[in-house]
Structure 1
Amino acid sequence: MFTKVRTRIAPSPTGMMHLGTARTAIYCWAVARHFGGEFLLRIEDTDRERSTPEATQVILDAMKWLNLDYDNKEVVYQMNRLPRYKEVVDQLLAKGLAYKCYATKEELDEMREAQKARGEKPRYDGRWRPENCVGKPIPEGVTPVIRFRNPDEGV
């Protein structure tokens, strides 16, 4: 009836470790230890622009200073799982549950500013949803992001 408890902390190595991250790590560690479960450390290093080895070391040092031992004695690095993520993304695209969006950061910023100026809540306008871009040429030099194909209506 009761399965083994497995908790984790997944900080992003983009700067100094935040006090809230340390607090969450302590809670997760304590729950895992209380129930005889596992506590894992997963480094969210997928932000290639901001993640640094120095910030990763700060996290490792902080965990040691807090005396929070993680199980398997191995840190899980998200970047090592990219092949699995690509596999899942390809499945989502093939099933029509996701789509490629070629909007640039500048276009999205402009869209959000215009929405705010009109008193609207900033949100993606669906410009690259499959039904909105039939016949639209794919811009050169823009690396797409993958967006979930959420329903237009409902919860």
Structure 2
Amino acid sequence: MTVRTRFAPSPTGLLHIGNARAALFNFLYARHHGGQFLLRIEDTDRERSTQQAVDVLFDGLAWMDIHSDEKPVFQSTRQARHTEVAHALLEKGLAYRCYCTADELKEMREKAMAEGRPPRYNGMWRDRDPSEAPANTPYT
């Protein structure tokens, strides 16, 4: 079995020490075991992902002499496949649509934190019938 590690940063800001540590650990682990180190850019947050942040990531990795063994993969280029799989999961009943608004999600996070719990989605749409959703409401 070949060891394959990957570093999958989200290009929404500057490279930070946590990113550098994760990349270095995975790179060194792959090298120690004669494996491969891969880079996958999680650029699906289209509003916050920037080319400047991608460039900073590449520059930082090059400065640390960390290089991917294959061409970096950008998640956004696989959007059609991700959509196809999501629809298949919906059809099989293995996923569901969430119709929460940004304000509702923010309220959930704030309530959980006020109660000393981690800020997590409460699953309110998991078992609900999609017919209960307001008409023409976007979903996730």
What is the TM-score of this pair, normalised by structure 1?
0.79
**1:58: which partner in 2?**
56
Shift in CA distance, 37/143, structure 1 to aligned 2, threshold 3 Å: same
| Structure 1 runs of 4+ with >6 Å offset | none
Matches within 5 A, 1:98-117: 98-113=95-110
- Which of these residues, 81, 84, 88, is aligned with residue 81 of structure 2? 84
Helix, strand or coil at the partner of 1:64: helix
User: Separation in 2 of the partners of 1:48 and 1:98?
Assistant: 23
Change (3 A) 1:138 1:57: same
Higher strand proportion: 1
Alignment map for 1:6-155 (pairs within 5 Å): 6-72=4-70, 74-113=71-110, 119=115, 121=117, 123-130=120-127, 132-133=128-129, 135-140=131-136, 142-145=137-140
Contact 1:127 1:133 in 2 (8 A): no
| Aligned-partner residue type, residue 4 of structure 2 | R
Deviation at 1:87, TM superposition (A): 1.7
Instruction: Say if 1:43 and 1:77, in contact at 8 Å, map to a contact too.
Output: yes
Count, aligned residues: 139
**1:102·1:139 contact (CA, 8 Å) conserved in 2?**
no
- 1:9 alignment partner AA: F
Describe the superposition over 1:23-54 as per-residue Cα deviations: whole angstroms up to 9, x where unpaired: 11111111111111110111110111110000
Given residue 138 of structure 1, which amino acid in structure 2 is its aligned partner?
A: P
Name the SS for the 2:38 alignment partner. Answer: strand
What is the TM-score when the length of structure 2 is the normalising length? 0.86
Structure 1: how far apart are the matches of 2:130 and 2:79? Answer: 30
Unaligned 5+ segments in structure 1 are 146-155
Contact 2:14 2:53 in 1 (8 A): yes
Does the aligned pair in 1 maintain the 2:90–2:96 contact within 8 Å?
yes
Contact 2:99 2:133 in 1 (8 A): no
SS at match of 1:101: coil
Q: Name the larger-Rg structure.
A: 1
Separation in 1 of the partners of 2:91 and 2:4?
A: 32
**RMSD, aligned CA:** 2.1
